[in-house]
Structure 1
Amino acid sequence: MTRPEPSPDSDPPNGLGAGSRLARARRLAGRVFFGGAEAGRDFVAGDVIYHQYPEPAVAAPVTGPSALDAATMALADPVDTGSAGYAELLKFSTHRPMTVLLSDDPDVSVPTAVRLLRDQNHDGMYRLTAAGLRSTPMGEQFHASCGYLLDQTGDDADDVRIAGLLRLVRAAIGPLRSRLVVAARPEGGLRQALAADCFELDARVTPGQLIGPALGNRPHQLDRLVEGMTGARAPADGVALRDLRRRAEGELDDWFAALPGWDDRGHALALAVLDGLPYDLVRRHGERLARAFAEAPAVTVLLDADVPRASRHHLRSARLERLRAEVFADYATTPDGEVRTESVRYRDAAYPSAVLRYAWSEYDDVPHVLLHWLLGLGGDPDEAVRIRAATAAGMLATLAFDHVRDVVVEPWAGDGDPRLRDAAACALHLPSLDPHLYARVRGTLDRWIESGTPALSAAAGRALGASVGHVDPGAALTRLDALAGTGQQTASLAVADSLAELVEWDPRSAVLVLRTIAEWVRVRDPSRNRTGQLAFLVLATDLTTEHRAGFSWPTLLALAESSAEVDALVVHLWQRVLNERFYDTDARTVLTVWASVAEAQPAIRPAFHRLVVSMARDHPRTRRILRTLATTWVSHRTPRTSPHVAAAVFAAMNEGALSHDR
């Protein structure tokens, strides 16, 4: 299949967005193992989309819940409620506020969803729409003891983007004893993003067992065979199916066994992990892995083949041909900026995952050598290598969680090097998406937190961001609250970074995150207070949103424009960080950066002006600080002068908005 050219990643200007690189790199690495489409938020048809947040200046039409009509209710009549399949579905959904029914046939999933809601005896039953979820505040949509239906089976359904909203819905309706049932297609993004809530009608039971003959009987044997082979749902349907077909045809067997010796096999496995990175880098790490295999006698004696010594054998072009790989023009980021380079990749995007799975399962001595090689890659100076190694470890952990955790992930987590702790957090991402492994991942994080060890606590904190925390933001915030009170500096930094990742993953979670931070800065506990202020400044610095005019501006400022609650929380937190002793100097620096962004982009000056006026109103000390800052914004001694912004602040004071402070 044709491979898309990678787009170079870059940070926004004006000093914003410097943090979040781990989350972006993790999503980029996900393309290698998901065949171009990562479950969650940011991958659509293989293209990386950053900061695609709702534009606050554009008001979307409000389309709230509507009562299910008689025709929709009647769809549920043919459902065979006495079948074993329906009993299994009832057992699965009994204690879940949200259930996602996956089926290729909407005539199966939608009637089943309606029947499930009918049988749960709700006070009212309503239909939701994706547009309504995006445009209507959560608190205005849901009521106690009600049932809700969301149909995501249409060809235009945007499952990847709606997944983040559904996590918030799940958190909102749980305390109300209400239920949401979503009908969706298995090839959509919900299967990965909400794996723990998914029930596959076509894989667990055939539609004929669940639905009467009037609605058809179309079992999907290949899907069930994939699930039976892997023991769990594969990370991406397309990759799993291609892998299955290759194994059935013996193609991967024949190709891998025919590679002349473990020199080439080591390079094949290295490329599976580092697919898409610069050729010289992949070659260097491939040689290390090949040497590791050479030092493992069982592998060398039992599996090595006679290596031909023809003059052309060691040419780069010959090796690439044997590996079914290709080089392509690319750009690499260096301390001196981007430089042009040649990168290497498999010609088929499905090979990285397929090669690793095949070698892991078919060669008994490969796992030991491969895991210890990955263990060393976790501390590589190149961030792209670390992220790819962590993602590969995570994929292998879906096959043997305890073993990979003990040999690779936990040693990374317990290390004093924050890069290794980030790698450990990244490695837990894929296992957390597997409903069979999520509890194991959660238990691992709880054990790290309870250990009291600074390194393990910090690693758990990092995992509770975009890696694992996005699966259940409410539970993640509870665990982050425990870490915020430890008084450990490494844990505080990890908590701050992960809170920023949760908002970047799903901007709708900003209210929950900011509420948590506001609670921390109000308490008398110095550890939580300090962590809360640090977290707010990290959010204010790292998170940026793409404006329709093509420039980046602070996400918190953008969200404050569209939500009164976010606006109030942002104003309150700015007042706290500017006035308290922990990070007041840093807070003034960050606010000055915001002012410089507003100075450079007139379109956002009104938003910044409204924020500053709200901060100063009824808060005399903050007014004095803002006056001092505004004076520095026009000083020739300031590297970033912002005369227009400063003039607007002074004008607001002089025109009476803040006249009581004259």
Structure 2
Amino acid sequence: MSEPNTETTTADDRVGGQPADGADPPTAHAEHRGHATDQDLLNESRTAADALSNAVDSLWGMSVGARGLSITAHTVIVGDASVGTLVGRDNLGGAPGHRIVPSGPVPAVLLEQLDNTFVPPKVFEEMRRRLRDQSLLLLRAPLGWGRTAAALRALAEECTAGVHKLNPDVQLRSLEIEFTPKFGYLLESFGAEQASNLRTFHLEQLSQMLTEYGCRMIVVLDSTAQISADVDQFLLDGGEPADATQLVHSHLRWHLATRPPDLLKRAEVGQLLTDVAQNRPPTRDLALLAAELADVSAGRIDIVDVVNRHSAAADGRFRQWFDDELDVETRAFAIALAVFNGMPLHVVSDAGRALAQLIAHEEEPDENKHSRSVFGSRSTQLLSASHAESYRSTEETTYGQIPVQAVKFADDSYPRRVLEYVWQEYHAAHHLVRDWLRDYGSNPNLTVCTRAGVAAGLLSTFEFEHARKLMIEPWATSGERHDRLAAIGALQFPCLQPELAPLVVRMLAAWLRRDQPLPRRVAAAEALGSTVGQAMPDSAITLLRRAARSSESPLRKAASFGLVQLFWSAGLTRRVLSELRKWTGSNRPRLRDTGFRCVLDLSLYKGVDTPQGMREWPVMVWLADAADDHRDDIITLFARLIEAPIHMPAAYEEIQRWVEIAEKDPQLRRPLGRFLISLGQAIQDTEILPYYLHAWAEEPNGPRRAVNELLTTLDSKEKTV
């Protein structure tokens, strides 16, 4: 059945028309605004779109903070599973517990080699300063950080006579250590029991004895070492390790006795170093890589063999970490962090605890046995064991931004890697993780539910039909906004899989049929504006056009929001403008109405940062002024909007908003004036725009300066004509 070719006004449509003589023009402060341009809905749509982008970026391995986060400072708390070392393969050994030199004097040749290869971590200058001030320092850092190299280098620079390594069995509390004046001392293997028994009294006595002999000492502690709070004055946390790429370059120069060769310009070497920088293997592995690259440069081995060995080593470290080093609580925390990477600590902590309880109940059904200790693992322990870091960020709330403590994996590849590893290796965990994600997909927090949905979508690439029935379609059909966002998030990864993309399109087309529940149809339309539509724009625009003709107002709004999202996608702006010309020029009233709504939604959705602007400029004005190939489309669309009786008041409200921006940003006035001149010509009415400008200027605190300049521009154009 075809639509009646008449304009109809529904309860959610605007009411208005051409102003009568003497009537006040509508203002931006009018009490009634149509639902289609309601700023709250648009803001929610923008928030959801940003959350979706951040969720997809996180699981693609893009750095957290690239979009939507403001990082002000950070404290790195990273773990590693291997022992650090100084130099290349000749001194590595590779066995756990292998030391650079035995107890006793550190050979001068090794100190010289360290002098030529050492890359200082960020904390190094603080190490030296603290060592000069108090003669004794406790350096706490994870295995593989390069702590032995840093300690030896600091001692060598502060102690002119030489450096000794102490026997690991020495008892610091006994003070029965024979010191040689002016020497530096390193204790690099410090037992957990001895660390827990240290007190300020013992360390002050030891520091005084070192000062009397003119000596300095560094004691290396594991990142998980439990020590008394009263020894903080002697403690220094290592923080971020030295830059991995710089370490490889430094060791390679030492091996070749010259600058690194052209080998470093080869694509496969560049990719290898990128992976190394991201994964940050133990320092000894970086030294070994430099030695291998030296062999490649000399023609002794092939670069393919080096790449394969390091890839296998990285996989082995990851498997060992997840399979052997994590307990149930930490595994659950790591999985939660994979889903909510870069979000506030309280979100990740709560999600990890919920998952840990599900796992504990599955393994020990007796409800009395799966309670979790309130004072079990400390946050620092969880972060360290999970290879994660904490940093200061901001979170959007109903009342504005607030500072929060956020957490993320140190390695951007870990979120996706953790989830895929769990799915591929632990089949018994599937239903637990699925149930857990389904619950979080219904969370009222837009970011939380979107993250859960995107994670479910990544895992659905292994079993799409199962996930569709158990999670995606129930979310889409529930009618709850948060469930719908989870369903949309769950389609982001499947639509990028060549074997699943056609299936996703057919599924969304089926969802849009008239016999389907309205919530599912709305979810389909909104999904077409996401990665789904960006990957398949022809299919998406065709389906959105179908939704835009619907008699259901929520579905038409969803079609408008979907097309707005495609407008802001790279390479689709012109395509969307062309489509909107068809919609707004159609003889189908509902399609035309949706087109007009979409033009307003586009303009209100967000502004554009410009080099010359003090504020964000309206996208319509900026695009019409900056791109000649878009100008005619935009002027035509806005002219049609002004001439549509139902939408005319909202169109003038939007122009008034632009004028108010121009009042605060004088640089916008000239482009806006050019826009209004073209708009007046398009509607063939040179009096209506000055009429509104005068009225807006006469309002209390009206935009008088902007209006005066705009009227001068319009008048000068009229005189030239």
- TM-score when scaled to structure 1? 0.61
Confirm or deny: 8 A CA contact 1:394 1:430 kept in the other structure. Answer: yes
Specify the alignment match of 1:416 in structure 2: 479
Matched, 1:657 2:721: no
Confirm or deny: 8 A CA contact 2:364 2:370 kept in the other structure. Answer: no
Match of 2:681 among 609, 617, 622: 617
1:496 to 1:221, Cα distance in 2 relative to 1, 3 A = farther
Structure 2: which amino acid aligns with 1:608? Answer: L
Specify the alignment match of 1:546 in structure 2: 609
Specify the alignment match of 1:469 in structure 2: 533
Specify the alignment match of 1:559 in structure 2: 623
Structure 1: which amino acid aligns with 2:645? Answer: R
How do residues 92-111 of structure 1 correspond to structure 2 at under 5 angstroms?
Answer: none
Confirm or deny: 8 A CA contact 2:453 2:486 kept in the other structure. Answer: yes
Match of 1:511 among 533, 553, 574: 574
- Summarize deviations over 1:38-74 as a string: whole Å, max 9, x none: xxxxx9xx84499xxxxxxxxxxxxxxxxxxxxxxxx
Confirm or deny: 8 A CA contact 1:613 1:649 kept in the other structure. Answer: no
| Aligned residue pair count | 452
Match of 1:288 among 341, 354, 361: 354
Structure 2: which amino acid aligns with 1:644? Answer: R
Confirm or deny: 8 A CA contact 1:313 1:319 kept in the other structure. Answer: no
Structure 2: which amino acid aligns with 1:24? Answer: D
Following TM superposition, by how much is the alpha carbon of 1:351 offset from its aligned partner in structure 2, in angstroms? Answer: 2.0
CA distance in 1, matches of 2:505, 2:579: 21
Structure 1: which amino acid aligns with 2:502? Answer: A
- Structure 1: segments with no counterpart, 5+ residues: 1-13, 38-42, 51-183, 189-217, 226-240
Specify the alignment match of 2:523 in structure 1: 459
Following TM superposition, by how much is the alpha carbon of 1:494 offset from its aligned partner in structure 2, in angstroms? Answer: 1.4
Structure 2: which amino acid aligns with 1:376? Answer: D
Specify the alignment match of 2:327 in structure 1: 260
- Summarize deviations over 1:348-399 as a string: whole Å, max 9, x none: 3222212111111222222212122212212322222122212212211222
Following TM superposition, by how much is the alpha carbon of 1:323 offset from its aligned partner in structure 2, in angstroms? Answer: 2.8
CA distance in 2, matches of 1:616, 1:187: 57
Matched, 1:647 2:708: yes
Match of 2:52 among 18, 26, 42: 26
1:585 to 1:574, Cα distance in 2 relative to 1, 3 A = same
Confirm or deny: 8 A CA contact 1:431 1:441 kept in the other structure. Answer: yes
1:31 to 1:470, Cα distance in 2 relative to 1, 3 A = closer
Following TM superposition, by how much is the alpha carbon of 1:332 offset from its aligned partner in structure 2, in angstroms? Answer: 1.7
CA distance in 1, matches of 2:303, 2:508: 39
CA distance in 1, matches of 2:482, 2:611: 35
Structure 1: which amino acid aligns with 2:540? Answer: A
- Summarize deviations over 1:13-60 as a string: whole Å, max 9, x none: x999845333322222233212226xxxxx9xx84499xxxxxxxxxx
1:529 to 1:252, Cα distance in 2 relative to 1, 3 A = same
1:220 to 1:468, Cα distance in 2 relative to 1, 3 A = farther
Secondary structure, aligned partner of 1:457? helix
- Summarize deviations over 1:247-274 as a string: whole Å, max 9, x none: 4x2642553454333x433222111111
Secondary structure, aligned partner of 1:20? helix
CA distance in 2, matches of 1:431, 1:456: 18
Specify the alignment match of 1:175 in structure 2: none
Matched, 1:270 2:336: yes
Structure 1: which amino acid aligns with 2:54? Answer: L
Structure 1: which amino acid aligns with 2:707? Answer: A
Secondary structure, aligned partner of 2:572? helix
CA distance in 1, matches of 2:370, 2:358: 18
CA distance in 1, matches of 2:524, 2:588: 22
Specify the alignment match of 1:36 in structure 2: 62
- Structure 2: segments with no counterpart, 5+ residues: 1-38, 70-266, 272-301
- Summarize deviations over 1:537-593 as a string: whole Å, max 9, x none: 011111322201353212222221233342222222212222323332322221111
The Cα RMSD (Å) is 3.6
1:49 to 1:609, Cα distance in 2 relative to 1, 3 A = farther
Specify the alignment match of 1:445 in structure 2: 508
How do residues 98-137 of structure 1 correspond to structure 2 at under 5 angstroms?
Answer: none
Secondary structure, aligned partner of 2:479? coil
Match of 1:332 among 387, 395, 401: 395
Match of 1:587 among 643, 647, 651: 651
Secondary structure, aligned partner of 1:645? helix
CA distance in 2, matches of 1:185, 1:627: 64
Matched, 1:377 2:440: yes
Structure 2: which amino acid aligns with 1:379? Answer: S
1:251 to 1:509, Cα distance in 2 relative to 1, 3 A = closer
Following TM superposition, by how much is the alpha carbon of 1:295 offset from its aligned partner in structure 2, in angstroms? Answer: 3.6
Secondary structure, aligned partner of 1:343? strand
1:291 to 1:598, Cα distance in 2 relative to 1, 3 A = same
Confirm or deny: 8 A CA contact 1:16 1:544 kept in the other structure. Answer: no
How do residues 100-499 of structure 1 correspond to structure 2 at under 5 angstroms?
Answer: 246-247=314-315, 249=316, 251-253=318-320, 255-261=322-328, 263-296=329-362, 299-300=363-364, 313-450=376-513, 451-499=515-563
CA distance in 2, matches of 1:186, 1:634: 64
| Percent identical | 24
CA distance in 2, matches of 1:578, 1:437: 43
Confirm or deny: 8 A CA contact 2:453 2:489 kept in the other structure. Answer: yes
1:424 to 1:185, Cα distance in 2 relative to 1, 3 A = farther
Following TM superposition, by how much is the alpha carbon of 1:618 offset from its aligned partner in structure 2, in angstroms? Answer: 5.6
1:658 to 1:256, Cα distance in 2 relative to 1, 3 A = farther
1:624 to 1:370, Cα distance in 2 relative to 1, 3 A = farther
CA distance in 2, matches of 1:185, 1:487: 56
Secondary structure, aligned partner of 1:468? helix
1:428 to 1:187, Cα distance in 2 relative to 1, 3 A = farther
Confirm or deny: 8 A CA contact 2:394 2:404 kept in the other structure. Answer: yes
CA distance in 2, matches of 1:245, 1:516: 52
Structure 2: which amino acid aligns with 1:259? Answer: L
Specify the alignment match of 1:628 in structure 2: 691
- TM-score when scaled to structure 2? 0.57
Confirm or deny: 8 A CA contact 2:512 2:520 kept in the other structure. Answer: yes
CA distance in 2, matches of 1:280, 1:269: 15
Matched, 1:534 2:597: yes
Following TM superposition, by how much is the alpha carbon of 1:653 offset from its aligned partner in structure 2, in angstroms? Answer: 4.8
CA distance in 2, matches of 1:452, 1:537: 29
Specify the alignment match of 1:134 in structure 2: none
CA distance in 2, matches of 1:474, 1:533: 21
* Rg larger for: 2
Following TM superposition, by how much is the alpha carbon of 1:300 offset from its aligned partner in structure 2, in angstroms? Answer: 4.3
Confirm or deny: 8 A CA contact 1:17 1:544 kept in the other structure. Answer: no
CA distance in 2, matches of 1:577, 1:306: 62
Specify the alignment match of 2:288 in structure 1: none
Structure 1: which amino acid aligns with 2:465? Answer: D
1:251 to 1:513, Cα distance in 2 relative to 1, 3 A = closer
1:246 to 1:484, Cα distance in 2 relative to 1, 3 A = same
Secondary structure, aligned partner of 2:558? helix
- Summarize deviations over 1:604-640 as a string: whole Å, max 9, x none: 22211111111112635x54542332123212336xx
